[in-house]
C-alpha cells in the first residue's frame, strides 16, 4: 500500500491529508499510477493553477522506486532476504537493512544480484558477506535474471504517466524528487515535456530529505511563488534543517550511515525547458564526434586517448562504500567535459573551444540553483569529480569488470532505448559500445 501526503488549502490555512490508492494497487503498474495522478490533478482548477509533485523513494539513477522482487513476496525485496527473529540475528538484520536501504540505487542492485542470486537460507551470512567490500567477487549472470527481479519506474515511464494524467496543455511546474542519483541528463530529458523545473540530487540523499516545513510555510505566506522561488527555498533551507541541534542529534543516532554521507549531498534545480537545446546544440555534437572517433578501422587514436584520459579523471557519482568500488557508470558531465576540453587544448586537438563555450552558456540557463557538496567525504576528499555541478550522465569506465560493463550497457539500452531518446542522443550509447570494445 502506498500513502501519499497531499498539501492543499481551503483558502484559510494549508491542510495536509493522506491520499491512499487502493490497498492492492501495484505501484509498478503504469495504469494504476496514471489513475492516481489523474485523480490528483482533476480537482476543479482555474487556468492559473500550478502543480508541484514530490517523489519520495529509492533512487535508481535511471528511474524511481528501484526495488528487487523477492520470489512471491512482492516488491519490497527486503522481505525476501531478511529473517524474522530475536537476539543477535535480529540486530544483524537491522544493520543489513539499514545498509542496503541507504545504498539502494540501480547499479548497486545489479552488483548485489550478480554476486548473490541465491539468497535464501542464510540471509544474515549473505548480508554480512555483501558488506565486506572488495571481498565480494562479481560473477557473470544472465541478464534475464535481472529483468525478472529488478523493478523500477523509469523516467520515460514516469513521463508517460504524467502525460496521461495532466490536464491538457499543463505541466508539473516543479517536480521535487527525494531520490538518489536521479539528476541525470537522460532522466531530465525524458521528463522535459511534462515537467518545467526538476529539483533532484545528483548524489545520495537521506530519506529525511528536504526542508518541507520551510517550503510549505513560504507557500502559505506567498501563494504566488514561482518555480524559481521554490527552488531557492529548497536550496537555502536544506542546511538549516540538518544544522538544527535537536534534529541533528536524533538524525545522527537513528541513521548514522546517512549522517556520515551528509557532506557529500549535492542537488540542483534544473530548468528542463532548455534540455532540447542542450542536446541539439551541445550533447549530440559531442556524441557524434566521439562515435566517429571510435569507428572500427578508422579510429582517431589521438582523440580517443584524450577521451580516455579525461574519463580516468572522473570518479563515479555514487559512493564507493559498501562495495569499495566505483564502476556504476554515472559521472558528472561538467567535470568530464571541462577536463576533456582542457586536455584537447594541451594536446593541440582543435574544434572544441566553441562547444566548451556553448556548454558553459547552457549550464547557466539550465541550473537555477545549486547545493554544492560541502565535504569532506568520499566525494569531496579526492578531487573535483566528487563535487558534482548540476548534471550527471552515463559513461562507464573501461577499468572495470567486462561482464559488469556489458550488463550496464544492456540495462541502459533497455531503459533508454532509441525510441525513448532523441535520434542524436542515441549516438551516445552507440559510442560507448564502440569505445568499450577491446
Q: How far is CA 126 from CA 93, 297, 327, in A?
A: 11, 46, 22
As a whole number, the mean pLDDT across the chain is: 70
Of 35 and 416, the one with more pLDDT: 35
Cell of 251: 538524525
- Which are the contacts of 266, defined by CB distance < 8 A and separation ≥ 6? 201, 202, 203, 370, 371, 372, 373, 379, 387, 388
Q: Is residue 361 part of a domain?
A: yes
Task: Tell me: pLDDT of 210 over 50.
Answer: yes
Q: Dihedral sign, CA of 241, 247, 249, 252?
A: negative
pLDDT, mean of residues 210-214 = 89
pLDDT over 60 (residue 354) = yes
Listed residue (269, 191, 165, 265) closest to 226, CA to CA: 269
Looking at residue 75, what is its pLDDT? Answer: 33
* Angle value at C-alpha 292, between 286 and 295, nearest 5 degrees: 145
Tell me, yes or no, whether 75 lies in a domain.
Answer: no
So what's the pLDDT on residue 157?
Answer: 78
Inter-axis angle of helices 284-293 and 427-436, to 10 degrees? 30
Please name every residue paired with 151 in a beta bridge, in sequence order, or none if there are none.
67
For residue 104, the number of C-alpha atoms closer than 13 Å in the C-beta half-sphere is: 24
Distance of CA 420 to the CA centre of its chain: 17
Please state the rounded mean pLDDT for residues 362-381.
78
Is residue 251 in some structural domain?
A: no
Confidence (pTM): 0.74
Which of 60 and 427 is assigned the larger pLDDT? Answer: 427
Which residue range forms the structural domain that includes residue 370? 273-436
Name the domain count of the chain.
Answer: 1
421 part of a folded domain: yes
Q: Is residue 328 part of a domain?
A: yes
> Is residue 7 assigned to a domain?
no
Which of 183-187, 191-195, 203-207, 381-385 shows the lowest per-residue confidence on average (mean pLDDT)? 381-385
Model pLDDT, residue 405: 66
The whole-number pLDDT of residue 163 equals 85
Quote the pLDDT of residue 403.
64
Q: How far is CA 41 from CA 31, 170, 172, 226, in A?
A: 15, 10, 10, 19
pLDDT at 48: 64
Which is it for strands 367-371 and 330-332: parallel, antiparallel or unpaired?
A: unpaired
In a domain, 65, yes or no: no
What is the per-residue pLDDT across 113-144, written as a single tens digit (0 to 9) for each? Answer: 334 333 333 332 333 333 333 333 323 333 34
425: confidence class by pLDDT, cuts 50, 70, 90 = low
Backbone CA torsion sign across 228, 234, 237, 239: negative
Q: What is the pLDDT of residues 154-165, one digit of tens each?
A: 788 788 888 887
Q: Which of 357, 361, 356 is nearest to 336 (CA)?
A: 356
- The answer to whether position 201 is within a domain reads no
Torsion angle of C-alpha atoms 270, 261, 317, 210, degrees rounded to 10: -20
Q: What would the pLDDT profile of 14-26 be if each residue is shown by its tens digit?
A: 444 444 444 444 5
The label of the residue with cell 508541484 reads 52
Amino acid at each position: 500500500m502506498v500513502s501519499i501526503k497531499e498539501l492543499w488549502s481551503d483558502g484559510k490555512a494549508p491542510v495536509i491529508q493522506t491520499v491512499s490508492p487502493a490497498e492492492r494497487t501495484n505501484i509498478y503498474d503504469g495504469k494504476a499510477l496514471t489513475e492516481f495522478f489523474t485523480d490528483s490533478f482533476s480537482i476543479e482548477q482555474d487556468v492559473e493553477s500550478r502543480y508541484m509533485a514530490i517523489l519520495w523513494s529509492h533512487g535508481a539513477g535511471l528511474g524511481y522506486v528501484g526495488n528487487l522482487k523477492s520470489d512471491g513476496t512482492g516488491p519490497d525485496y527486503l522481505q525476501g532476504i531478511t529473517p524474522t527473529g530475536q537476539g543477535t540475528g535480529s540486530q544483524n538484520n537491522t544493520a543489513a537493512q539499514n545498509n542496503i536501504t541507504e545504498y539502494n540505487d540501480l547499479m548497486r542492485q545489479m552488483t548485489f544480484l550478480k554476486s548473490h542470486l541465491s539468497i535464501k537460507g542464510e540471509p544474515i551470512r549473505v548480508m554480512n558477506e555483501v558488506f565486506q567490500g572488495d571481498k565480494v567477487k562479481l560473477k557473470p549472470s544472465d541478464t534475464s535474471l535481472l529483468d525478472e527481479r529488478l523493478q523500477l519506474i523509469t523516467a520515460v515511464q514516469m513521463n508517460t504517466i504524467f502525460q496521461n494524467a495532466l490536464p491538457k496543455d499543463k505541466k508539473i511546474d516543479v517536480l521535487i524528487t527525494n531520490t538518489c542519483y536521479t539528476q541525470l541528463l537522460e532522466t531530465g530529458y525524458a521528463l522535459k515535456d511534462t515537467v518545467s523545473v526538476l529539483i533532484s540530487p545528483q548524489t545520495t540523499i537521506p530519506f529525511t530529505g528536504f526542508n518541507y516545513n520551510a517550503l510549505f510555510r513560504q507557500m502559505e505566506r506567498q501563494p504566488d511563488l514561482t518555480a524559481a522561488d521554490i527552488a531557492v527555498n529548497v536550496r537555502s533551507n536544506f542546511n538549516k534543517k540538518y544544522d538544527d541541534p535537536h534534529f541533528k542529534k536524533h538524525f545522527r543516532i537513528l541513521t548514522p550511515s546517512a549522517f556520515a554521507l551528509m557532506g557529500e549531498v549535492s542537488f540542483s534545480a534544473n530548468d528542463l525547458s532548455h534540455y532540447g537545446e542542450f542536446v541539439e546544440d551541445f550533447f549530440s555534437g559531442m556524441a557524434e564526434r566521439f562515435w566517429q572517433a571510435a569507428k572500427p578501422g578508422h579510429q582517431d587514436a589521438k582523440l580517443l586517448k584524450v577521451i580516455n584520459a579525461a574519463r580516468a579523471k572522473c570518479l563515479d557519482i555514487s559512493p564507493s562504500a559498501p562495495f569499495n568500488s566505483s564502476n556504476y557508470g554515472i559521472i558528472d558531465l561538467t567535470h568530464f567535459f571541462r577536463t576533456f576540453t582542457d586536455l584537447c587544448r594541451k594536446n593541440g586537438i582543435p574544434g572544441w573551444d566553441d562547444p566548451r563555450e556553448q556548454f558553459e552558456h547552457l549550464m547557466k540557463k539550465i541550473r537555477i540553483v545549486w547545493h554544492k557538496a560541502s565535504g569532506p567525504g568520499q566525494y569531496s576528499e579526492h578531487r573535483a569529480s566528487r563535487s558534482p555541478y548540476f548534471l550527471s550522465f552515463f559513461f562507464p569506465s573501461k577499468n572495470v569488470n567486462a561482464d559488469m560493463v556489458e550488463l550496464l550497457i544492456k540495462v541502459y539500452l533497455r531503459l533508454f532505448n532509441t525510441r525513448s531518446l532523441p535520434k542524436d542522443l542515441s549516438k551516445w550509447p552507440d559510442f560507448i559500445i564502440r569505445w568499450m570494445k577491446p
